[in-house]
Amino acid sequence: MSDINEYHKNQYKKIYRSTEKFVEWLEKLGYLKSDVSQHICDMACGGGANILYLSKHFPKASFTGIDFSQELIDYGNERLKEKNNCKLYQGDWFALEPKWKEKFDGIVSFQTLSWLPEYKVPLKQLSNLNPNWIALSSLFYEGDIEYTIKLKNYYRPSNNSEFGEMYYNIYSLIRVRKYFEQLGYNKFEYMPFEIDIDLPQTDNMDIGTYTVKLENKKRIQISAALMMPWYFIVASKD
């Protein structure tokens, strides 16, 4: 596995606090259910660590993961080969295959939407599959302002350039909610993710989330020079 995929390998060693809290929130709201058979999709599933975590907490459910990287799909399927209710597939979130339509009760996506160029096409693609609900954790702002942030990371050069590029977009909850309504998902709920553990800052100045504790004891999350306004959202048809 390449160095960039250490992120996915490390999730098998210790699941992220945001994943724990996101799943806990969705269960509290009644979207994820431990006593009901559901078919859940994890979109942009990476190496599948979050699916393994979900399968342990919701053993009656079945889980499908979709990710663009065939390397991560192969890695995840090897890690999940003993789990009969978990399977990963290669796919493009921006052009999802029609075979997935009507297959899922719900779709989750962890920490991905803000790292895509924009949100409308991805959310439209999810709605085309016609799940009952769609839930995402990402960077949002409660006001009517949106940020398109594209990084040039010289710490991580690409094959053809002295820098790697990636997005850290922050989307307006007002706009995202209105767009979900256009897609037929009229119930919208959200919660800011206020992390309750300390994350240390690395010795270098590369991207990587760390926390700073405020005077009111709350923590903010920062990566390099950017504050990370994490939220959990879920949109449903009823």
Each residue's pLDDT tens digit, 74-107: 999 999 998 999 999 999 999 999 999 999 999 9
> Which residue segment(s) compose the domain that 70 sits in?
3-139+170-198+227-236
Q: What percent of the chain has pLDDT over 70?
A: 98
Q: How confident is the model at residue 8 (pLDDT cuts 50, 70, 90)?
A: confident
Write the CATH number for 179: 3.40.50.150
Each residue's pLDDT tens digit, 22-44: 999 999 999 999 999 999 999 99
Residue 54 lies in a domain: yes
pLDDT of residue 3: 43
Each residue's pLDDT tens digit, 129-158: 999 999 999 999 999 999 999 999 999 998
Residue 61 lies in a domain: yes
pLDDT of residue 74: 95
Residue 188 lies in a domain: yes
Residue 183 lies in a domain: yes
Q: Domain count of the chain?
A: 1
Q: What is the DSSP string of the chain?
A: --GGGHHHHHHHHS--HHHHHHHHHHHHHTSS-TTS--EEEEET-TTSHHHHHHHHH-TTSEEEEEES-HHHHHHHHHHTTT-TTEEEEE--GGG--GGGTT--SEEEEES-GGGSS-SHHHHHHHHHT--SEEEEEEEEESSS--B--EEEETTS--TTSSSEEEE--BEEHHHHHHHHHHTT--EEEEEE----S--PPPSS-SS-EEEEE-TTS-EEEEETTEE--EEEEEEE--
Residue 180 lies in a domain: yes
pLDDT of residue 11: 80
pLDDT of residue 4: 41
Residue 36 lies in a domain: yes
Residue 190 lies in a domain: yes
2 has pLDDT over 50: no
Q: How confident is the model at residue 13 (pLDDT cuts 50, 70, 90)?
A: confident
Residue 64 lies in a domain: yes
118 has pLDDT over 90: yes
Q: What percent of the chain has pLDDT over 90?
A: 89
pLDDT of residue 5: 61
Mean pLDDT computed over every residue of the chain: 94
Each residue's pLDDT tens digit, 160-204: 899 999 999 999 999 999 999 999 999 999 999 999 999 999 888
